[in-house]
Amino acid sequence: MTNIAEMLNKIEQWCNTNRKDQYEPMKPGLTKAEIDSILGEWEFQLPQEILELYQWGNGSKHHSFLPYPNGDYGFQGFYSLRNALREAEDFNKYFNDIKKEEYILPLFSEEGAYTWTILKKEPTDLATMYYDEEPVMHSPEYPSLTAMLENIIRELKIN
């Protein structure tokens, strides 16, 4: 089991114990072959952390995924890989004024704001995480998905 999956499992266990009435399990994860099939001949590479995320789960069924640091939920969602790629088309059409060697990929939505990462044509391990109402480039919220999950675990006081 990967570090990403271990952290997501800890968060999911916390949700099942502390917010069972609001939490719904994720859609089943994808295999590497399923991910490759969805991506097809796409020129951008998913960072290793994002591959692990989608192998753990392929989006939320309705809206609850990661709790806020205080344990509350809002109207948030985790995009399935197909939906993330569809959303990415609009994001990149309207908001991507960065180099065309990079591609904005939204992962989570939360009450009108988004958490996204930047994909490159070369494979990377870490997925820098950005957060805002519009996917415009500014300082990263977290240097990686791992750092984001570690923060949630720390804030929720999960052992």
Return the H-helix or E-strand segment holding 87: helix 81-94
| Tens-digit pLDDT profile for residues 101-118 | 778 888 988 777 788 898
**pTM for the complete prediction?**
0.88
Listed in sequence order, the residues at least 6 apart from 49 whose beta carbon sits closer than 8 Å to its beta carbon are: 4, 125, 126, 127, 144, 145, 146
Is the per-residue pLDDT at 151 higher than 80? Answer: yes
Which is more confidently placed, 126 or 115? 126
Q: What are phi and psi of 21, to 5 degrees?
A: -70, -15
Q: Are 109 and 138 in contact (CB under 8 A)?
A: no
* Rounded Cα–Cα distance for residues 58 and 31 (Å): 10
Q: Are 118 and 99 in contact (CB under 8 A)?
A: no
Q: Six-digit token pair at 18?
A: 């502390």
Number of compact structural domains in the chain: 1
Its domain, for residue 24, covers 3-155
Q: In which band, very low, low, confident or very high, does the pLDDT at 5 lie, cut at 50, 70 and 90? A: very high
- CATH value at residue 105: 3.40.1580.10
The DSSP bridge partners found for residue 78 are 108
| Tens-digit pLDDT profile for residues 38-93 | 998 888 899 999 999 999 999 987 666 676 655 566 667 889 999 999 888 777 77
